[in-house]
Amino acid sequence: MAKPKLALYWAASCGGCEIAVLDIHEKILDVAAAFDIVFWPCAMDFKYQDVRAMEDKSIDLCLFNGSIRNSEAAEIAHMLRAKSKVVVAFGSCALEGGIPGLANLTTKEDILRVVYKDTPSTVTQNGGVYPQTHSKMKEGSIEIPELWETVKSLDQVIDVEYYVPGCPPQPEQIWAVIEHVISGRPLPPKGSILGATDKTCCDECPRDRKEKKIKQFYRPFEIQTDPNECLLDQGMVCMGPATRSGCGALCTKANMPCRGCYGPPPHIVDQGAKMVSALASVIDSTEPEEIERILDQIADPMGTFYRFSLAHSILRRVEKV
């Protein structure tokens, strides 16, 4: 019997997810043994044409990381969708837009202007040149992918079977998913989130929690935290309560508040709005002026509450004002 076929792809992401796959260490050999890797541009030399030539649904498992922010990623996503039986949105970017999704706070125009004109290190000619999708020169014409106005999560572009959250997904969680597929055990229902639990980060966090009443918010550099007390109790904006567990509470164990990379727990439609609601609830004041003063202490609410989930939130992006 032929080995099942595996494809991995890296769209708009930092590449950490690819490295995370390698972080399963020697088990990568088991992966190589169990699967026939048909597409993994980061690690091996494959051409798009090779995949395009394959039959539809001939790839058994496709781990797709990164969000969709240009036409190339979208094209490959559609192609892999057609060729794969199971597509997994792998990592936070694919799942909910991730850090690239923060581009939705601004516009394509602004991004291009900053990168190609405004940065001090950029030497501009003729008032600056933006990359052109189509360029004609004497050797012929060149086409490069078009940058999208709005970053999208994978499931906003193609149909996705499963999701593996994390920035990056934890190696043991990755192995658990791969191992499940290798073992041939029946797959969970479509739309399931793999490699994570239904609880929140607090479930794995070893810190002691109290009933919350917050009068003062701190940024990490403003406070020396007690290593045994809940960070939120101490006034740090920790996304843990509104973040799916599965990472093993790595950040809070390292004295840093959870950033929310595992995405919202089940039943939560908007991680940021939910955290706003929860945090506002425990602010210890009934005076409107004092409340405003306390809220002023939260720096960059959009970047804090929607750090990973902006592209997949209810409103998806910031409107041009």
Helix, strand and coil percent figures for the chain, each rounded to 5 = 35, 15, 45
Q: Which is nearer to other proteins, 58 or 107 (CB)?
A: 107
Residue type, 69: R
Paired tokens of 30: 């088991």
Q: Which of residues 208-247 bind other proteins (CB under 8 A)?
A: 209-213, 230, 232, 240-242, 245
Q: What is the C-alpha separation between 188 and 162, in angstroms, rounded? A: 9
Contact flag: residue 313 with other proteins (CB under 8 A): yes
What x/- string results for residues 128 through 157 when contact with other proteins is judged by CB under 8 A? ---------------------xx-----x-
**Cβ–Cβ < 8 Å for 316, 101:** no
Q: Does 43 bind other proteins (CB under 8 A)?
A: no
Q: Choose which of 59, 148, 273, 307 interacts with other proteins (CB under 8 A).
A: 273
Q: Phi then psi for 229, rounded to 5 degrees?
A: -100, 150
| Residue among 117 and 213 whose Cβ is closer to other proteins | 213
Name which position in 7, 177, 275, 308 contacts other proteins (CB under 8 A): 275
Minimum Å gap between C-beta 17 and other proteins is 25
Question: In Å, what is the CA distance from 262 to each residue of 7, 217, 230?
Answer: 23, 23, 19
- Non-local (6+) Cβ contacts of 236 within 8 A are 217, 218, 219, 220, 223, 225, 257
Shortest Å, Cβ 271 to other proteins? 9
Does the footprint of other proteins cover residue 293 (CB under 8 A)? no
Q: How far is the CB of 265 from other proteins (least distance, A)?
A: 5
Query: 7 by DSSP, 3-state: which?
Result: strand
Give the residues lining the site for other proteins (CB under 8 A).
149-150, 156, 198-203, 209-213, 230, 232, 240-242, 245, 264-270, 272-283, 285-286, 288, 291-292, 295, 301-302, 305, 313-321
